[in-house]
Structure 1
Amino acid sequence: MRDVSPRPAVTMAQRKRQLVSDELTEAALQLMAREGFDAVTVDEIVATAGVSKRTFFRYFASKEDVVVQFLADMGAGMRAELAARPTDEPPSVALRHAVWVAMAACADGVDHSGRALRVVQLILRTPALRARFLEHQGQWRDDLAAEAAHRLGLDPEADLYPRLAAGAALAAFDTVLRRWSDSGGAEDPAALTDRAFAVLAPALDTAEPRADQRPSP
């Protein structure tokens, strides 16, 4: 699959902010792995990270956000990738590349210590976090549907295809993410993503015709 574009250089202030955010996330993960999500408090997290409670709330609105934060911007990345794909590319291929941006952020992102996998496993196994994750996916579906409609000249409100295609793409993402998580990171996420979209391709590549191409009633 196509490599994800390199990220732009970050400033010293951004590095410092990311460091504090990482320390808080790492502290939260350590505590939650040991005590369970519900038992851990913000006070425990800040004590473990060595920062103040005020600092915590500058970065996160709640302890749920500590865990979910690194997934929050995936929707924008997927939409940007879909918008950047060649206009003559089959929808299944364009959507596969878009979903891979999010999957790669989970499988390869953050660092190589296994923290990304632990975050994903915690989210999928904790009902409160899973609910927050699904809230994010609702916005991602709207964004992908809007972009898919734009690429094909369809109306995202009147035509069925854009939302169905976006929903199918995110179902593939969710299925691959869970399979990768359940395997403890052993299964190749790129190969799983390719397999998922091979299943979906016949449906995704049969889009509704443009409004101006439909037969008159």
Structure 2
Amino acid sequence: MQGMKYREGVSNRPELTLAQRKRRLVSDELTEAALQLLAIKGFDAVTIDEIVTEAGVSKRTFFRYFASKEDVVVQFLADMGTGIRAELAARPAEEPPSVALLRAVWIPLGECADHGDRALRVVRLILRTPALLARFLERQAQWRDDLAQEVARRQGLEADADFYPVMAAGMALNAFDAVLHRWSAGDGAESPAGLLDRAFAVIAPALDAPTGGRPGLLRDRRR
């Protein structure tokens, strides 16, 4: 089936064996079929029978990969987070934090932009379905922890001891979340790229300020 391939464009994947590539292909087809049906008809209206028919596989095959309809979306979200961290790890060490984090967050948003209305329907599905939104927020908490570890590594800080890594990761993901909400609430005329640039223009000064690991800074400013 031709159409949106949500996992394309994520950098730095390890080489896969033939068997792993076949499994990934089936998983991609199931994910695409499920997400599009769910986005068009609504989460509660779609059955697993409809998904497997659309994907051209058996119900047994579906349950080999996913435990439920919700699990399809959860896996999709997990892959988004993996792509963000992988891209941040691949950014040049000399890049300012705001630039590196913007490029990392752009990975899933860029895929959405590439697929226009179809991706917009999926984003709206996730944000407007309470059960899926809850899982999305749960995943974002994990993304924040993963990103904080990578930010700490890049900055030579301790993720568990310094505030900067977790605060920087949180700001980047808040920008990502704000862009998704603004994009999904509109008519799709404003591009995710433009929205992300605007969001990062707000947080870039804080991300790039040379204040990481300086606990005395606030005290100095109060004097």
Q: Are the aligned partners of 1:159 and 1:208 in contact in 2 as well (CA < 8 Å)?
A: no
Q: Deviations over 1:124-159 (max 9, x none)?
A: 110111111122211111111011111111111111
Cα separation, partners in 2 of 1:153 and 1:210, compared to 1, 3 Å = farther
**TM-score normalised to the size of structure 1?**
0.79
> Among 103, 111, 133, which residue is 1:105 paired with?
111
Q: Are the aligned partners of 2:176 and 2:196 in contact in 1 as well (CA < 8 Å)?
A: yes
> Among 105, 119, 122, which residue is 2:122 paired with?
119
Question: Shift in Å at residue 17 of structure 1?
Answer: 4.7
**1:78 has 2:84 as partner:** yes
> Among 75, 95, 116, which residue is 1:69 paired with?
75
Q: In the aligned structure 1, how far is the partner of 2:180 from the partner of 2:95?
A: 25
Cα separation, partners in 2 of 1:17 and 1:149, compared to 1, 3 Å = closer
Identity of paired residues, percent? 64
Question: Shift in Å at residue 25 of structure 1?
Answer: 3.8
Q: Are the aligned partners of 1:124 and 1:178 in contact in 2 as well (CA < 8 Å)?
A: yes
**Paired residue for 1:206?**
209
Q: In the aligned structure 2, how far is the partner of 1:196 from the partner of 1:40?
A: 35
Q: Deviations over 1:71-96 (max 9, x none)?
A: 32122222222222222322111111
Q: Are the aligned partners of 2:30 and 2:52 in contact in 1 as well (CA < 8 Å)?
A: no
The CA RMSD over aligned residues, in Å, is 3.0
Which letter maps to 1:151?
R
Q: In the aligned structure 1, how far is the partner of 2:96 from the partner of 2:170?
A: 17
Number of aligned residue pairs: 206
Q: In the aligned structure 2, how far is the partner of 1:119 from the partner of 1:29?
A: 7
**1:135 has 2:142 as partner:** no
Q: Are the aligned partners of 1:68 and 1:123 in contact in 2 as well (CA < 8 Å)?
A: no
Cα separation, partners in 2 of 1:113 and 1:84, compared to 1, 3 Å = closer
Structure 1 residue runs of 5 or longer lacking an equivalent are none
**Paired residue for 1:195?**
198
**Paired residue for 1:29?**
36
Question: Shift in Å at residue 114 of structure 1?
Answer: 3.5
Cα separation, partners in 2 of 1:187 and 1:149, compared to 1, 3 Å = same
